[in-house]
């Protein structure tokens, strides 16, 4: 196991939703408040960027379309097409936010290719439990409306992940008033989570539960925001290990590299505070944790 390596001094405000695309040998990720979709390949010193018209919170690759993505923005779920002239966005599904000032947050595809994503109030200090978890599959896409999975109350839904067989869904609430991670039985036919149960209570562990990934052994990796750690939990909820990073706010992790054995971690660069003790905040990091990950399922519109 090697120490965390800075692979790109991205200086992202909030680096999130890293996705490795094996056919390109490239990592994509978002900078939420700046509305940037970014792409980086190992060996390159600079990332390519596309500007979107809204904040970009989460995304997944579109099956069979190398330049196309599905993404959770501020007011809904969009198709994003990348080109040399910029990014084109097209609305796919609307949602009824509970109040103004909301956006999407963490999201990814389940193992069947449905897009699942949560929403949150951007003013975290308000601690309003108005967040929801939505699903957009082929049937929902035809109707132009994402399905509310009725999992509230949630303040800051995060840590979404699916077990290797797709039958367990993980979800966290990273708000300081919650810091819980839950597991659900997941109906792979209907895309419906049931039997919510506590997986890990993070209040007694370092860091708040932020973005997550699953490895090939079915273990759950989650960023310990504020603690500068990435934790690995076994399927029984026991903490297996914690890996340090040189920044306090790792945001989300994803497996990549030719063998899916590199754990990439995005991070946050807070405004208005002294960063002399963490000058690399907002950077993109790589770890070699000694295990391989799962390839991300792409969105299947049919």
Residue 105, annotated as binding a ligand: yes
Q: Which of 106, 173, 210, 215 is catalytic?
A: 210
Euclidean distance between CA atoms 220 and 233, whole angstroms: 5
Q: Is 16 annotated as a binding residue?
A: yes
Q: Find out whether 104 and 118 touch, Cβ atoms under 8 Å.
A: yes
SS (H, E, C) 134-181: EEECHHHHHHCECEECCCCCECCEEEEEECCCCCEEEEEECCCCCCEE
- Is 139 labeled as ligand-binding? no
106 is in an annotated binding site: no
- Catalytic (active site) residue 140: no
Residues noted as catalytic: 210
Binding-site residue set for substrate: 103, 105, 123
Binding-site residue set for a divalent metal cation: 16, 158, 210
Binding-site residue set: 16, 103, 105, 123, 158, 210
């Amino acid at each position: 196991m090697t120490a965390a390596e800075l692979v790109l001094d991205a200086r992202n405000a909030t680096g999130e939703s890293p996705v490795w695309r094996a056919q390109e040998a490239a990592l994509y990720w978002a900078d939420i408040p700046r509305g940037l979709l970014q792409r980086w390949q190992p060996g390159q010193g600079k990332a390519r960027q596309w500007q979107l018209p809204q904040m970009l919170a989460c995304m997944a690759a579109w099956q069979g379309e190398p330049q196309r993505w599905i993404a959770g923005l501020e007011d809904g779920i969009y198709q994003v097409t990348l080109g040399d002239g910029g990014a084109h966005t097209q609305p796919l599904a609307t949602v009824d936010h509970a109040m103004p000032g909301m956006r999407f947050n963490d999201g990814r595809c389940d193992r069947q290719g449905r897009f699942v994503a949560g929403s949150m109030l951007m003013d975290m200090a308000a601690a309003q439990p108005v967040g929801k978890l939505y699903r957009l599959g082929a049937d929902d896409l035809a109707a132009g409306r994402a399905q509310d999975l009725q999992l509230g109350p949630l303040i800051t839904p995060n840590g979404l992940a699916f077990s290797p067989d797709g039958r367990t869904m993980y979800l966290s609430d990273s708000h300081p008033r919650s810091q819980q991670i839950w597991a659900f039985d997941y109906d792979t036919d209907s895309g419906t989570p049931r039997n919510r149960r506590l997986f890990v209570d993070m209040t007694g562990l370092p860091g708040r539960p932020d973005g997550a990934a699953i490895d090939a052994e079915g273990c759950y990796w989650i960023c310990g925001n504020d603690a500068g750690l990435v934790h690995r939990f076994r399927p029984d909820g026991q903490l297996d290990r914690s890996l340090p990073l040189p920044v306090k706010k790792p945001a989300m992790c994803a497996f990549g590299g030719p063998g899916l054995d590199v754990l990439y971690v995005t991070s946050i660069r807070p405004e208005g505070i002294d960063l002399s003790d963490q000058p690399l905040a907002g950077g993109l990091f790589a770890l070699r944790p000694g295990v391989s990950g799962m390839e991300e399922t792409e969105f299947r519109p049919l």
